[in-house]
A and B are shown apart, each in its own frame.
Chain A
Amino acid sequence: MFEKLKNILKSEESETKNTPASAPQGSGDKLKIGYIHLSGCTGDLMSFTENYDELADLLQAVDIVYGQTLVDKWEMPEMDIVLIEGSVCLEDAHSIKELKEAREKSKLLVALGSCACTGGFTVYAKGGQGGQPQHSSFLALQHLVKVDMAIPGCPPSPQMIKKVILAAVNNDMDYLAPFMKFTDDEEACGCDLQKKIINQSICIGCGACAAACPTRAMTMKDGRPSFNCDRCVKCGLCYYQCTRSWWPIDQIKKEMGLE
């Protein structure tokens, strides 16, 4: 996988280098990005678009070639990167077809947001809602296709999405490595903290989990996370943001200029 992305970005980089800086780039040189919306709430897209001001420069390096609300296009084109929001509904043949097609037509498939990564809030669905009551089974993308990168969050913060895009453009594979690792996780829940941190005797009671929780399901009591299952949307942020779940010391030092 690493090699694959590296190659995409390297060829992109060399093409960019060959182009004189002043000359306008043809869209053929740019990284082609698609955005597909499956069963999600559009929160991830909103978070993504919150970056528009700052990404204006970046949009010269990327081309958004496919996506409802973003591009007026019906046929799915070939894409370098496709960002997919939402889980996939098994009763909705169109969603499954679109996901499979995206896998075939993209070099890098990114699950954006917890619904796409691990199911998120949609794991609670049982059907019976208005409009399409038979839509009752929702799965994370990885159950149907190979996912290359997972960016959890409900939604992932605009800052997180921006940093990922910048890292991709700058070919910073070290920064992106954790997101490739996250594709191993099949599910997420607030109880991950209990099972993987507290029960493993590595919690230090810093409170990062409680700060990360978007629904206040996680609070701190007596120096330990206290989890209210009824409020949990299964985004996994408490665990991913935990100081002791994974430790990116090299990236931190690089960012702080301490190297």
Chain B
Amino acid sequence: MIQDSVLGPHQEILTARATDKKILDKSQDGGIVTALLVYALEKNIIDGTVVAGPGKEPWKPEPMVATTKKDILKSAGTKYTMCPNVALIKEATRGYGLEKIGTVGTPCQVMGIRKMQTYPLGARHVTDKIALVLGIYCMENFPYDSLKTFIQDKAGTTPDKVTKMDISKGKLFIRTADDETAIPIKQTHGYEQSGCQYCLDYVAELSDVSCGSVGAKPGWSTIIKRTDKGASLIDSAIEDGVLEVTETNEGKFGLEMLRKLSKNKKTQRQKNIDKKLDMGLQIPFTHSKFKEDILENR
């Protein structure tokens, strides 16, 4: 295990994408999460998974239990708003009777799942059934109304017309069938949910495997293998041809970029945490003056 306060404890970092065209057509970048969930389902590592499925309004996801490849595909692609997946974990063991639950979440959701596993106060017969925790990189998340503001006021269109949203090269791209609007990320600041201001985790440090586009060329994803469970899943997915691997860019637009973004997030958020603690407000994290390493998620 490599101990690394910037990218969290991990075993190996690699760059890969899904080989299934159906997945790549729908996925955000390399289709890693979708491919891994489908693969884990087929290999009986999980018997279902909690995902961010389509909700009543376009681009407003709702947590959903998926037990088929078809349902998992429905949840492919990033939606930049909150989807409380953790809320459905207990229901997945009750209403759906799952014994081996797959989960995917943002860093904060992964934190919630791990806290629940370590202190299962209100999780009767649930935590021993969590079989896989996939994490996605996350800088911040937006309330749905913020997203609507970007789409309607900045891009001048409506949510139902948007075909894809993604964040890259410092911009939020809103794409429709015939148009594309790029909003500088700086302009989106202030629209994120306030809880994100105090988050010290960029790369889902407590997941089995985490992944995201940062550090990889377009159409590919950077994968961080963390636990043994996560590492063996990735290894066998590669061996079975579900994922294909390419050379990892260690340089400025590769892992250096990933490290830089993580470090920036942590440094900036630690300042917010300090400020809040100095004001005497409640927050579960530690003031930098009491931390040996301020980049640590504590």
Flag whether A64 is at the interface (Cβ < 8 A): no
- A223: B residues at CB distance < 8 A: 81-84, 143-144, 193
Flag whether A41 is at the interface (Cβ < 8 A): no
- B84: A residues at CB distance < 8 A: 205-207, 210, 220, 223
Interface size on A, residues (CB 8 A): 54
- A200: B residues at CB distance < 8 A: 281-283
Assess the B124–A208 pair: CB atoms within 8 A.
no
Partner of A159, one of B111, B112, B127, B196: B127
Assess the B193–A204 pair: CB atoms within 8 A.
yes
Interface residues on B, range: 35 or more
Assess the A152–B284 pair: CB atoms within 8 A.
no
Give CA–CA (A209, B122) in the complex, Å: 9
Minimum Cβ distance to chain B for residue A160 (Å): 5
Assess the A160–B121 pair: CB atoms within 8 A.
yes
Assess the B197–A201 pair: CB atoms within 8 A.
yes
Minimum Cβ distance to chain A for residue B48 (Å): 16
Assess the B196–A237 pair: CB atoms within 8 A.
no
Minimum Cβ distance to chain A for residue B61 (Å): 10
- Which of B87-95, B158-166, B257-265 lies at the interface? B87-95
Assess the B284–A211 pair: CB atoms within 8 A.
no
Assess the A237–B118 pair: CB atoms within 8 A.
no
- A237: B residues at CB distance < 8 A: 121-122
Partner of A243, one of B1, B115, B227: B115
Flag whether B114 is at the interface (Cβ < 8 A): yes
Q: A200-B283, A204-B108, A207-B112 are in contact. Are A255 and B143 (CB under 8 A)?
A: no
Assess the A158–B124 pair: CB atoms within 8 A.
yes
Give CA–CA (A252, B133) in the complex, Å: 14
Flag whether A249 is at the interface (Cβ < 8 A): yes
Flag whether B116 is at the interface (Cβ < 8 A): yes
- A204: B residues at CB distance < 8 A: 82, 108, 141, 193, 195-196, 199
Flag whether B252 is at the interface (Cβ < 8 A): no
Give CA–CA (A223, B281) in the complex, Å: 22
Flag whether B149 is at the interface (Cβ < 8 A): no
Assess the B86–A153 pair: CB atoms within 8 A.
no
Flag whether A157 is at the interface (Cβ < 8 A): yes
Partner of A222, one of B86, B120, B143: B143
Flag whether B210 is at the interface (Cβ < 8 A): no
Residues of B within 8 A of A (CB): 1, 9, 63, 81-91, 105-106, 108-109, 111-128, 141, 143-144, 193-199, 206, 226-227, 281-285, 296-298
7 closest cross-chain pairs (CB), A and B: A207-B84, A207-B87, A223-B82, A212-B122, A237-B122, A204-B195, A210-B87
